[in-house]
Structure 1
Amino acid sequence: MINYFMVEERKFTVRATKDPTGGYSGRCLELPAAISEGETMEELLANMKEVIQLVLESIEKDCPPDEKIVVTIPT
């Protein structure tokens, strides 16, 4: 079985919001379950990378290979 997480680099869009009381929060637009926060933008970025990886691993574990369909949309 090929672990597709290591096959290619993937890009995700994070909507970052500055909290009026301090720090930042972020949500991945492609993976709505991937939400995190950080005191600085750098910390938010590191936290978002980690939570995106965790969500992807969870999806991989919950979806057997015979139930996957890859869809390519031209840009």
Structure 2
Amino acid sequence: MTFTAQIKVMPLKELLDPQGKAVKSGLDNLGLNNVQDVRIGKNIVLQIEAASADSAKATAEEAAKKLLANPVMEMFEVSIS
């Protein structure tokens, strides 16, 4: 079966997010002052051929750990459909 893995990668909450700060500043300049914080991340979609959803999730998590996310600076979440 083919499964779709969505991997959401975000900067760790403890770290500064320069892109998020720049977007927040831009929103403030546009008069959208009710936005409290902005965090910029990435969404990665993988099509995985696997025997089960658990196997597909394991593959996606391995890909995220080894290549797609930097564990020093980022966290990730994997969902399978």
Q: TM-score, normalised by structure 1?
A: 0.33
Q: Which has the higher strand share?
A: 2
Q: Which has the higher contact order (CA 8 A, sep 6+)?
A: 2
Q: TM-score, normalised by structure 2?
A: 0.31
Q: Which structure: larger Rg? A: 2
